[in-house]
Amino acid sequence: MNVCRICKGQLEERRVTRLQEYNGKWYIIENLPALVCRQCGETYYTPQAHDRVIDLITGDAEPVRVEQVAVLDAG
């Protein structure tokens, strides 16, 4: 895949930060390889990148740091 499914823009390989929920907990994964549309910014992950996220979350990798996250209620 080298064009965006939404706008047909060019995709380029980049390292991105992804937020992922797993079993009710949120994880921030930095430096994840992804394909990002140059035109609209849509991000695409390969199946390998997705597997890497799950491996990191379910494995025994030590967090590089722990962040506090602000939770806001729009209700």
Query: Does residue number 3 form part of the binding site for Zn ion (CB under 5 A)?
Result: no
Question: What's the min distance (Å) between Cβ of 52 and Zn ion?
Answer: 23
- Is residue 4 a contact residue for Zn ion (CB under 5 A)? yes
Q: Under rule CB under 5 A, how many of the chain's residues touch Zn ion?
A: 8
Q: Taking CB under 5 A as the criterion, which residues in 6-65 touch Zn ion?
A: 6-7, 9, 37, 39-40, 42
What lies within 8 Å, CB to CB, of 75 at 6+ separation is none
Q: What residue ranges bind Zn ion (CB under 5 A)?
A: 4, 6-7, 9, 37, 39-40, 42
